[in-house]
Structure 1
Amino acid sequence: MKLLRVGSVGAERPALLDESGTLRDLSEIVPDIDGDLLGNAALLDRVRRAAADGALPALPRAAADAGTTGAGAEPESLRIGPPVARIGKIVCIGLNYHDHARETGAAVPEEPIVFLKAPDTVVGPHDTVLIPRGSTKTDWEVELAVVIGRTARYLETEEEALAAVAGYTVANDVSEREFQIERGGQWDKGKNCETFSPLGPWLVTADEVPDPQALPLRLWVNGQVRQDGSTADQIFSVAHVVRYLSRFVTLRPGDVVCTGTPAGVAMGMAEPKPYLRDGDVVELEVAGLGRQRQVLKSA
């Protein structure tokens, strides 16, 4: 299933994109797409049955496109919001692609590099992204995001880890490199600025993604391809990452794990590095998981 949330900021309602591309309203079946739904197999089965029956009311087709709607869109435009509500935590993996480690001159890590992003950095896939005041090095990162569907703690096997995954979506791990690297302390200052976690458009349930290590990822800036990679190049697989994290943090339904970015970020390019500026347009996609589009604006 492709699950999503549509509507104005703070008033999104649950929806489903069916096999014909029709957007269907789920609000009479479930209150939202969140950890309560994703951790409830019986309720998910009810959604599947309703979708198969074809009885769910249709919503305007424009909502599924929504490529030009932003955070200020009117309710009737059915802006696409983040596909998961009330995210408990966002756990991110740094330097998780061989080619990205090479382009930044970093050694391949022996264990996953872990950092956190605050849930209030999350915006919809087509919402405006704000360049922080004083920023000169705002960067892009297309990523495969994993959404957890059952409590994961001290997992023993990678099979258990994949069984804990509810589904997958697209993330842009927007980063300010000066704040992240040159200002001392941990990476968090460069990762947690307002709007720095566009997510969506859909949550694709895990049964529709047979191999999370075979997903092409691409990103464009102002129409120019900047990243073109595959999750096959990950240093630590999705299963490894989820199992590893469960040793240190308890992952709960609705939590999000961002699994790293391939080569092609501005930080890894020759001078002058093409960091993002006011008015730039970033587009990104993960095969089968949908596409995002953001216009950058100064905060």
Structure 2
Amino acid sequence: MKLLRLGPVGQEVPAVQDGDGRTYALGALTPDIDGPFLADGGVERVRAALAAGVLPPLDTEGLRVGAPIARPGKVICVGLNYRDHAEETGAAIPARPVVFMKDPATVVGAYDRVLIPRGSTRTDWEVELAVVIGRQARYLDSPEDAAAVIGGYAISNDVSEREFQLDFSPQWDLGKSCETFNPLGPWLVTADEVADPQALGLRLSVNGEPRQDGSTKNMVFDVAHLVWYLSQYMVLNPGDVINTGTPAGVALGLPGTPYLRAGDTVELAIDGLGRQSQTFAQA
């Protein structure tokens, strides 16, 4: 089951897409797809209504695709979580997850325009598997408990400005939290449809040129470990997003490869989670 939000910015309506690609409106069940919806059994209600055939069809032609989760409380990011990405940037394989936060206001739709910040010289791309929390998690006993608190998965582009990130501050936040820097979606694919989150191919191209082609099997810390680990240090609430890291192929790790400029188009895909495409513009 794929949950999505359609319509102009700030006016998105909740919807669901079934296995045959048909889309139905969810307005009678919930005002939005957000943390309270996930916490209050929203996924189960949608599944039951879909099975009962009581949801009205929704004509999606011409509708903007918004981020599939509204107003995430936190966007938690994990750096250097693919061995090949750590190697290409000259960093050591971390012994513990490298954790930083990203402004939740950076989250935009999968096809929305992304703005290159004023003064930027090194705006970069990062295709990532995003985990959306479905139930509150605090002090999970073990990684085996993580599956029960995951609401679903989505594609995330963890857009980064490397000069801001690496040269302007010992923290990474400056280069991660610029406006529009986290396209998410197009869907939130419910956890039951992702048989193994450690067996997903990730791909990204810039202006049609392949840049990233990796697999989640190469994560240093797998999804279950990350959710468990984070729950030891912060409360994970329904609707929170975890960006789980990026494979090799970013501009930072490819000497001579140009960073993003206005007019460039980035396309992303993850097996079973759909596709994204953004055209970049100057802020």
Task: Report if TM-score (shorter chain) is over 0.5.
Answer: yes
C-alpha RMSD over aligned residues: 0.9
Equivalent residue, structure 2, for 1:163: 148
Aligned residue identity for 1:11? Q
Structure 1 gaps, min length 5: 63-76
1:248 aligns with 2:233: yes
1:94 aligns with 2:93: no
The Cα shift of 1:61 comes to 4.3
Equivalent residue, structure 1, for 2:54: 55
Equivalent residue, structure 2, for 1:25: 25
Count the aligned residue pairs. 283
Alignment of structure 1 residues 44-193 onto 2, 5 Å: 44-62=43-61, 77-193=62-178
Q: Distance in 1 between matches of 2:60 and 2:30?
A: 21
From 284, 287, 291, give the equivalent of 2:275. Answer: 291
The Cα shift of 1:185 comes to 2.5
The Cα shift of 1:279 comes to 0.1
Which ranges of 4 or more aligned residues in structure 1 deviate by more than 4 Å?
none
Describe the SS at the equivalent of 2:180.
coil
Q: Distance in 2 between matches of 1:161 and 1:45?
A: 19
Aligned residue identity for 1:264? G
Q: Distance in 2 between matches of 1:266 and 1:60?
A: 39
Aligned residue identity for 2:120? S
Equivalent residue, structure 1, for 2:261: 277
The percentage of aligned residue pairs carrying the same residue is 62
Q: Distance in 2 between matches of 1:182 and 1:45?
A: 46
Q: Distance in 2 between matches of 1:46 and 1:107?
A: 45
TM-score, normalising length: structure 2: 0.98
1:220 aligns with 2:194: no
Describe the SS at the equivalent of 1:240.
helix
Cα offsets for 1:68-96 (capped at 9, x unmatched): xxxxxxxxx21000000121000000000
TM-score, normalising length: structure 1: 0.93
Equivalent residue, structure 2, for 1:5: 5
1:209 aligns with 2:194: yes
Describe the SS at the equivalent of 1:232.
helix
The Cα shift of 1:228 comes to 0.3
Structure 2 gaps, min length 5: none
Q: Distance in 2 between matches of 1:3 and 1:226?
A: 28
The Cα shift of 1:247 comes to 0.8
Q: Confirm or deny: 8 A CA contact 1:22 1:61 kept in the other structure.
A: no
